Copies of this chain bind each other. A is one copy, B any other.
Amino acid sequence: MGIITLLTDFGADSGYPAAMKGVIYAIAPTATLIDISHGIKHHDVREGAFLLWMNIPFFPKGTVHCAVVDPSVGTARQPLIVHAGGQLLVGPDNGLLIPAARRLGSTEVFTITNEKFYRKPVSHTFHGRDIFAPIAAHLANSFPPKELGQPVEKFVKLSFGEGSQQGMTLKGEIIFVDTFGNLVTSISAQLLNAFAQLGDPLALEVGSKSAIVRFLETYEQADENELCITIGSHEQAEIAVNLGSAAQRLRAHPGDALTLRKNR
């Protein structure tokens, strides 16, 4: 009945997500599967965490998110179940699940200790198929997390940071570059709205590049190929080029620091 989402760095066409889906449907034949993304850069836990964080508010209670970006597959890192805001997340203990879970409010974290539902033998290289997929399917079948694991206090944390204002300057970081080349920043809508007014020109620095950008409501208010800053769909300040790519223009990448100054 429930929805199960999948997020991996396997590649949609790699055949690996399909193996997970076969395992899931064999256990939960009436589940609805939704791919969040299989195109996370290999081993890029932060990018995976961002896409999960970005999507989780749009899913109904009862959804189970199965996320596998797992550079340490086969080692001692623990498999986790996280319960938050009526949704469940399953994946490795490397921070991947944490920003999404925190976005929904208080969280309960379990390490999976009951191996009853694992596909045996568990391969050393594909826990997505052998551990996370069957656990997600049983959770979607309403099997209680408490019977699968132990509550745990220690787990790997991850956060995208927050922008901050220092006088006439906003400081933040690029946390995601989307497929259009828009740069999602760690500066919240609230912070940018308190700092500047629509129409204001701001002096932007990202890496070694600098530019004057106008704070606009939509991309399209910018001239063609003009850089601008806007409140994006993630409710974060977003740097964009109308009908172009801000990432290309600024040669900017996730993790790059940025500053915005009022242009007096």
Contact = CB atoms under 8 A, between A and B. Distances in A.
Interface stretch (A108-116, A118-126, A150-158, A205-213): A118-126
Given A34-B25, A35-B18, A126 B233 contact: yes
A219 interface: yes
A194 interface: no
Contact of A75 (B29, B60, B218): B218
Contacts of A74: 217-220
A144 interface: no
B14 A179 contact: yes
Contacts of A175: none
Query: What band does the interface of chain A fall in when counting residues whose beta carbon is under 8 Å from B?
Result: 35 or more
Given A32-B25, A38-B13, A180-B42, A73 B219 contact: yes
A238 B75 CA distance: 18
A19 B18 CA distance: 20
Given A71-B243, A123-B235, 15 more contacts: A10-B179, A12-B35, A13-B39, A15-B37, A18-B37, A18-B58, A23-B58, A25-B32, A25-B59, A26-B59, A33-B34, A75-B220, A124-B217, A125-B230, A129-B233
27 contacts: A3-B25, A12-B39, A13-B38, A13-B39, A13-B40, A14-B178, A14-B179, A15-B55, A18-B37, A19-B55, A22-B63, A23-B58, A25-B32, A25-B60, A42-B180, A71-B243, A72-B220, A73-B218, A74-B218, A74-B220, A75-B218, A123-B232, A123-B235, A124-B230, A125-B218, A125-B219, A129-B233
